[in-house]
Chain A
Amino acid sequence: MSQAAIKTETVHNPDQIQKQLKNLRDDFPILSRKINGRELVYLDNAASTQLPKQVIETVSAYHEFHHSNVHRGVHTLSQEATDLYEEAREQIRSFINAPSLKEVIITSGTTDAINLVSRCYGEPRFGKGDVILVSNMEHHANIVPWHMLAEKTGAEMKVIPITDEGSIDMDAYRALLGPDVKMVAVNHISNALGTINPVKEITDLAHKAGAVVMIDGAQAVGHELVDVQALNCDFYAFSGHKMHGPTGIGILYGKEELLKEMKPNRGGGDMILSVSFGEITYAGLPAKFEAGTPPIAQAIGLGAAAKYLSGLDRDLMYQHEQNLLKYATDKLSSVPGLRIIGTSPEKTSIVSFVLDGVHPHDIGTILDENGVAVRTGHHCAQPVMERYNVPATTRASMAFYNTFSEIDALYDSLLKVNELFDVNQPN
């Protein structure tokens, strides 16, 4: 999203913006659920976002009226399913402004997409003396595949440190960049800290050093306007369930000239031009990387989610999320004994915190009793926990449909936690 939206002061008053977005909440049927007799307060959007009825209905209509296998039959249903599937690819392409449909590979998620790059791009090219840079704030999905690659090829994985507030240490990054660096893998937004990384600058620096760039965009697509051409990154991965689409679906964007040179990751149907036992000719892009029957309904659902988001005033949504972030940061900071982990000036609407004397797991259980859904644990980012020397955190992550009063509910529940555990009380 426009940098301007981060920097400028709110042009409207925050309540006004919330009012304008209020109707969108009605698009999400699950938000009117009751949990333990209370209104659901869903603050676990960084784990999975909820689905609007537009997505649910599109997927349901596919199953009801058009379901069949794709790219195979000449019959009407197969043709319809194929058209819907490829239409979804176009919606997703347009959503990230990829130049070509050939560069939009349908995968099962971010994890799958990163593994594909590590295996198909890295494995045949990397070797002893080569360096893969990952940041200290990565999700395990952007660490483990590179670790496995390093083990297999003899390449070395090095870590870009982060500052105390949770930003990438750009000086350290510059110092690490050298001719030996072949790959830079960083997330666009950290799921554990909320930091929005300067991925454009990171990419430009990497390219100057001759390295290829893999951006883990899992947390970004639901919040930011992502333009892969403007970023100029080589690979960009994301998941449907973090942008109000289904689970089991994700995208790998890759530059055509790189994807073209890569061998397929999996063999099977749909990814070949011709097969005889003597010789196999692979299909072109993107089919080369989509062996077997793909997640058709999920892809159509993701297309619908991209369309849904594209039809909204995303600047306004972004502004609202930033307002929620500010409100939550101020409010939670006033909870006695609470410390926020991740205080970068560039943040998305994620607040990760620890509370003196209470383990996050206990916090999570008590909040759930009050209908407040948050994530507790290491968030698949153990190196981040180690960096801040905490075993786990509690994380509240907001989407555009969240409200100020939901933050109040979180705040009230946290005071209850302090009361129950008889900690952080005024003497």
Chain B
Amino acid sequence: MLTSRTKNLYQELILEHNKKPRNYRVPETSSHQAKGHNPLCGDKLDVYLSVDEESSTISDVSFIGDGCAISKASASIMTTMVKGKSVEEAQSLFKMFHDMTTGKETDVTEDQIPSRLRVFAGVKDLPARVKCATLAWHTLDAALQGEEKISTE
């Protein structure tokens, strides 16, 4: 029998993105990129971005990498969330996601969090898995800041 906690963590959407990750490719060109590494579990992923300088919008984003279902699905969902958004919007999504997965008290109410991000709320009860969920976002943030490598340790 699967417990409700397991089901809560491995929601349909997560399993589906794990199986068929979106924007899983190395682009021909990109303006920003970074490598993320979680040495604890060996998860590795590369995030590529094309940022339009004038409008400061993310015109393309993609990733490749190796990792658990949580990290892969999180990366995949992230790409679908930030594509077409401004850099600023992407960064505030990162903050929102980070606060939610680390269980930080904020003014943001649950219904203000996009449902595609909300599926990861379960990781806050599993400290060992928080980094899996946030790796892609940290890597995105690093790419936007012009850092080439980040490690979650």
Contacts and interface: CB of A to CB of B under 8 A. Distances in A.
Interface of A: 36-37, 358-362, 365-366, 369-370, 376-378, 385, 391-392, 416, 420-422
Interface stretch (B52-60, B67-75, B107-115, B145-153): B67-75
A416 B41 contact: no
Contact of B69 (A378, A391, A416, A421): A421
Nearest to B1: A416
| Residue of A37, A361, A369, A378 contacting most chain B CB atoms (<10 Å) | A361
Contact of A359 (B19, B67, B126): B67
A376 B15 contact: no
A385 B69 CA distance: 20
Contact of B15 (A385, A392, A422): A422
Given A37-B3, A365-B128, A422-B19, 8 more contacts: A361-B67, A361-B129, A362-B68, A362-B69, A362-B70, A369-B3, A370-B3, A420-B2
Contact of B42 (A36, A365, A370, A391): A391
B15 A365 contact: no
Contacts of A376: 41
A362 B19 CA distance: 13
Contacts of B40: 377
B9 interface: yes
B106 interface: no
B132 interface: yes
Contacts of B43: 361
Interface string B1-38: 11101100110000100110000000000000000000
B2 A369 contact: yes
A44 to B, nearest CB: 13
Specify the main secondary structure of chain A where it touches its partner. Answer: mixed
Interface residues of B, number: 23
A384 to B, nearest CB: 13
B66 interface: yes
B41 A392 contact: yes
A420 B69 CA distance: 12
A38 B73 CA distance: 29
Nearest to A363: B68
B45 to A, nearest CB: 12
A359 B69 contact: yes
27 contacts: A36-B3, A36-B5, A37-B3, A361-B41, A361-B70, A361-B129, A362-B68, A362-B69, A365-B6, A365-B9, A365-B126, A365-B129, A366-B10, A369-B5, A370-B3, A376-B41, A377-B40, A377-B41, A377-B42, A378-B42, A385-B42, A391-B66, A416-B2, A420-B6, A420-B15, A421-B69, A422-B15
Contact of B68 (A36, A37, A361, A369): A361
Contacts of A416: 1-2
Interface string B101-134: 0000000000000000000000000101100100
A366 to B, nearest CB: 6
A377 B67 CA distance: 11
